[in-house]
Every structure is written in C-alpha cells, then in structure tokens.
C-alpha cells in the first residue's frame, strides 16, 4: 500500500497585467457553488439543467457545466490549478486567448467525455466541473511556458517501506505537467476495466490536447523558446554565472530586435562582465528602441543608467538630439546638459551641432555658471560662423563677457 499526492504552490514567473478571465471564471465558480450549496431552494434557478448529459445536452450546458462543482474538494482542487497557472498564462496569451483556451477546452473535454461515457463506459451520467477548462490551461501552459519551474508540495505515504514524508520541491514544468497527464491517461484506461467512473479523466486529456493546439496556433512554441532565454539568464545570474547569463541574453536580444527591455538587460550583463564596448552598443540600441516605441521615460532612464558607467555615451545623431530635447523638457537639466555636450563633442560637424551648443549655453546660464555659458556662446561663431545662430550667440556671449568681468 502506498499513497503519493502533490499539488502546485508556485511558479517562477511574474504577472504584468490583471488576469481578468482567470479572476472572472474563479469568481463564477465560487458564486455558483455557494448559491447551489447554501441557497439552492431560494434561488430562482434549477442548477440541474446546466449539467452536461451526453446524448441529450447541447453546447450551452457543455459550457455552463464548467462552473458547477460537486463538493469542496472538487472546487478547491480545480481552482488551485486555475488560479496558479491561469494568471501567468493569461498574462502571455491575453484576455481573448485565455477565454478561448478555458471555455473551448471545457466544451471539447465535456463532449469527448460524453462520447467516452456512452460508447465505452455505457453510461449517460452527467458531467460537471471546471477540470476540462483547467486542463486546457495546463496544455497551453506546457507549450507557452515550458521553460518555467513549478514549486510543488507533496506527501508520500508508504507504510510497507516505513515512509511518511511531506515536503516541497521544484520541478521543471514539463516534468510536473507531464506527470499529471500520465496519471490522467492511466486512470482513464483503468476505468475501461471497471473502475468507478466518478472522475472525468477523458475530459482532462481532451481539454489538455485542446489547450496545446490553441497555444501552438497562437505561436506559443516560438514565444516560449524566446522567453526561455531570459529565464535561463536569470538562473545564471542567481548562481553567479555572469558569462552564461550574457550568452543567454544575447540570444534573447537577437530574437527580440525591437524590444528595448531585452537590449537593456543585455547591456547590464555586458557592463557587469566588463565588456564596455558591447554595453555601449546595447544601451544605445535599448534607448533607440524605447524612443521608436514612444517610451520616452524608459529611454531617458536607460540613458541615465548608461552615462553612470560609460564615458561619453552617444546615440545616432537624430535619436540623441531627440533624447536631449526630451530630457530638457522633462526638467532634467544636468542630464540634458551632458547629453548636449556629448553630442557636440561626437558630432561636431553635424548641422545641428551649433544649436546643441546653444542649448548647452542656455542650461549653463540657468544653472548660474555664467563663465561656462559665455564660453559656449562665444564658441558658436568661432566654430560655426555660417550658422544662423552665430550672430545671436555672439551677442549673448558679449553680454555675458561684460557681466563676468
């Protein structure tokens, strides 16, 4: 005699948006369970008509049955899996993708279980529970987030081996979900030998397969591959393997060429490993991607981070000037001043160099450094005598010359 039971308690991922579908489906399951359990006589609904009876019910009950549960254990186990896996999956698939996976898997799972019941188990027993939809979530999770790790709590009870152990462990998502699928398939086959048919194992397997198909059709395999680079990089960083992390982040940034955040992660890794030239290139790429995407605040933060470790950090002329103007407008005069001066130093022959030097002179004047402002103003007619701002700058320089004296 032995007993082994485990359930998930965590995932090494983060949620970046509110999981609307996951929260809604969870709330509906709880609401329906409470109404049916405690207020069944007073609620003007006959919940029995929402049970899916194979051979009699249509698509409506196949969906509605997903929100009905038999007892506390039934609903708690389903919702643990739904909340834990669903919120992370919805963050990747989006609201509509998650709705398709959960509701579609519920329908497919219930219909397939109904066919199995009638033709192989020779019973027309009703089917209820969210397990079909939850299984679809697990299937889509396996495709889209297969590189993640699942923390599980377990209990092993084997008295003949003098073993009674509880604990927690971390499993690769493929191992954790693969073990669950294997158990469903084996138990479903056991039902053919006369075991009790009170658990819809075919619903689980069919719903799981539906989730896999939907995730694959939405490009989940490729997106999961790319996210895997970032995951492995984070793990390398946690164990102090800086070069391993950089290698993974290089693959990640190469796969996400227009993602500023990916290039920013690579820049930090290269800077940490002492690769200044590589860090410069990655910081520059991150800033340009952020600016192109309209994420000016992120671009400015990346620029300021880069300037703390890289002397004369510079972007392409147009992007650098765009960043300069933004820093000045957003009341970051010190950063704007440095950016203008770096532009003039790096692109001294650019058509906008004189104007950049003029802006630097104005910022020096606002800071009260009149001597530096004067020098910048007077440098414009000397360096760029043909520029339209030369006469204006010369006049301001002469005024400051008298004020400084």
Quickly tell me which residue has 């694959």 as its tokens.
Answer: 216
Alpha carbon distances (Å) from 269 to 229, 248, 319:
14, 10, 24
- Residue pair 177/141 in contact by the 8 Å Cβ criterion: yes
Q: How confident is the model at residue 3 (pLDDT cuts 50, 70, 90)?
A: low
Query: Higher pLDDT residue, 387 or 195?
Result: 387
- Residue pair 255/228 in contact by the 8 Å Cβ criterion: no
Q: Which CATH number fits domain 3-218: 3.90.1150.10, 3.40.640.10, 2.30.110.10, 1.20.1540.10?
A: 1.20.1540.10
Looking at residue 175, what is its pLDDT? 92
- Residue pair 109/32 in contact by the 8 Å Cβ criterion: no
Dist. CA 298–CA 142, nearest whole Å: 32
In the chain, % of residues over pLDDT 90: 71
Burial of 397 (0-12, 13-18, 19+ CB in 10 A): buried
234-267 residue pLDDT tens: 999 999 999 999 999 999 999 999 999 999 999 9
Looking at residue 196, what is its pLDDT? 58
CA within 13 Å, CB half, 219 = 6
Res 348 pLDDT > 60: yes
- Residue pair 89/98 in contact by the 8 Å Cβ criterion: yes
Q: How confident is the model at residue 194 (pLDDT cuts 50, 70, 90)?
A: low
- Residue pair 124/53 in contact by the 8 Å Cβ criterion: yes
Q: Residue 4 gets which letter from DSSP?
A: E
Looking at residue 405, what is its pLDDT? 55
Are 3-218 and 223-311 the same fold in CATH?
no
Q: How confident is the model at residue 275 (pLDDT cuts 50, 70, 90)?
A: very high
Q: Averaged over 117-135, what is the pLDDT?
A: 89
Res 195 pLDDT > 60: no
Write down the mean pLDDT value for the chain.
Answer: 91
Phi, psi for 371 (deg, rounded to 5): -65, -45
Query: Higher pLDDT residue, 331 or 98?
Result: 98
52-80 residue pLDDT tens: 998 888 899 999 999 999 899 999 999 99
DSSP assignment of 128-178 equals --THHHHHHHHHHHHHHTTTSEEEEEEEEEEGGGTEEEEEEEEEEHHHHHH
Looking at residue 1, what is its pLDDT? 53
Quickly tell me which residue has 């955040």 as its tokens.
Answer: 261
Looking at residue 298, what is its pLDDT? 95
211-230 residue pLDDT tens: 999 999 999 999 999 999 99
- Residue pair 379/345 in contact by the 8 Å Cβ criterion: no
Q: Averaged over 127-131, what is the pLDDT?
A: 93
26-47 residue pLDDT tens: 999 999 999 998 887 788 888 8
In the chain, % of residues over pLDDT 70: 97
Q: Rounded to 5 degrees, what angle do the CA atoms 148, 151, 156 make?
A: 135
Q: Averaged over 101-111, what is the pLDDT?
A: 96
Which tokens sit at 18?
Answer: 């509110």
Cα 165 → chain centroid: 35
Q: What are the residues whose beta carbons fall under 8 Å from the beta carbon of 404, sequence distance 6 or more? A: 370, 371, 374
Domains of the chain, residue spans: 3-218, 223-311, 314-405
Q: Which fold has domain 223-311?
A: 1.25.40
Query: Higher pLDDT residue, 51 or 57?
Result: 51
- Between β-strands 3-11 and 163-172, what pairing exists: parallel, antiparallel or unpaired? unpaired
Nearest of 302, 309, 293, 304 to residue 339 by alpha carbon: 304
Q: How confident is the model at residue 192 (pLDDT cuts 50, 70, 90)?
A: confident
Helix, strand, or coil (residue 10): strand
Looking at residue 207, what is its pLDDT? 96
Q: Averaged over 100-111, what is the pLDDT?
A: 96
Residues 131-146 as b or e (16 or more Cβ within 10 Å = b) = bbbbbbbbbbbbbbbb
Residues present in the chain in total = 405
Looking at residue 39, what is its pLDDT? 84
Quickly tell me which residue has 């160099």 as its tokens.
Answer: 353
Q: How confident is the model at residue 165 (pLDDT cuts 50, 70, 90)?
A: confident
Q: How confident is the model at residue 16 (pLDDT cuts 50, 70, 90)?
A: confident
- Residue pair 344/338 in contact by the 8 Å Cβ criterion: no
Which tokens sit at 203?
Answer: 């619903």
Looking at residue 41, what is its pLDDT? 75
Q: How confident is the model at residue 357 (pLDDT cuts 50, 70, 90)?
A: very high
CATH architecture observed for domain 314-405 = Alpha Horseshoe (1.25)
- Residue pair 66/106 in contact by the 8 Å Cβ criterion: yes
Q: Averaged over 104-130, what is the pLDDT?
A: 90
pTM as predicted? 0.85
Res 88 pLDDT > 80: yes
281-338 residue pLDDT tens: 999 999 999 999 999 999 999 999 999 988 889 999 999 999 999 999 988 999 999 9
Dist. CA 184–CA 105, nearest whole Å: 16
């Amino acid at each position: 005699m032995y007993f082994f039971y485990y359930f998930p308690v965590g995932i090494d991922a983060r949620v970046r948006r509110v999981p609307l579908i996951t929260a809604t489906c969870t709330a509906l399951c709880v609401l329906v369970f409470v109404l049916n359990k405690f207020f069944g006589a007073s609620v003007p609904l006959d919940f029995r008509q929402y049970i899916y009876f194979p051979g009699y019910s249509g698509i409506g009950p196949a969906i509605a049955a997903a929100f009905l549960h038999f007892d506390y254990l039934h609903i708690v186990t389903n919702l643990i899996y739904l909340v834990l896996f669903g919120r992370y999956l919805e963050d990747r698939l989006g609201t509509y993708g998650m709705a398709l996976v959960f509701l579609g898997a519920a329908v497919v799972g219930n219909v397939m279980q109904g066919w199995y019941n009638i033709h192989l188990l020779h019973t027309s027993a009703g089917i209820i529970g969210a397990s079909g939809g939850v299984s679809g979530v697990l299937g889509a999770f396996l495709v889209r987030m297969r590189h993640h790790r699942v923390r599980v709590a377990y209990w092993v009870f084997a008295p003949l081996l003098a073993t009674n152990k509880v604990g927690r462990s971390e499993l690769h998502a493929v191992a954790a979900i693969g073990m669950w699928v294997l158990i469903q398939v084996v138990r479903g086959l056991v039902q053919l030998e006369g075991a009790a048919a009170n658990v819809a194992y075919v619903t689980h397997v069919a719903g799981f397969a539906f989730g896999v198909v939907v995730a694959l059709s939405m490009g989940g395999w490729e997106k999961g591959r790319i996210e895997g680079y970032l995951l492995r990089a984070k793990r390398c960083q946690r164990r102090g393997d800086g070069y391993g992390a950089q290698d993974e982040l290089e693959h990640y940034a190469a796969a996400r060429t227009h993602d500023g955040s990916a290039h920013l992660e690579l820049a930090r890794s290269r800077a940490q490993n002492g690769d200044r030239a590589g860090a410069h290139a990655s910081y520059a790429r991150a800033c340009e991607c952020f600016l192109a995407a309209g994420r000016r605040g992120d671009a400015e933060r990346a620029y300021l981070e880069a300037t703390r470790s890289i002397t004369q950090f510079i972007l392409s002329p147009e992007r650098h000037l765009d960043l300069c103007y933004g820093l000045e407008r957003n009341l970051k005069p010190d950063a704007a001043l440095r950016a203008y001066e770096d532009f003039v130093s790096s692109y001294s022959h650019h058509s906008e160099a004189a104007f950049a030097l003029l802006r630097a002179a104005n910022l020096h004047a606002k800071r009260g450094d009149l001597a530096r402002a004067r020098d910048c103003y007077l440098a414009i007619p000397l360096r760029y005598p043909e520029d339209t701002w030369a006469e204006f700058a010369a006049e301001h320089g002469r005024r400051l010359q008298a004020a400084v004296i």
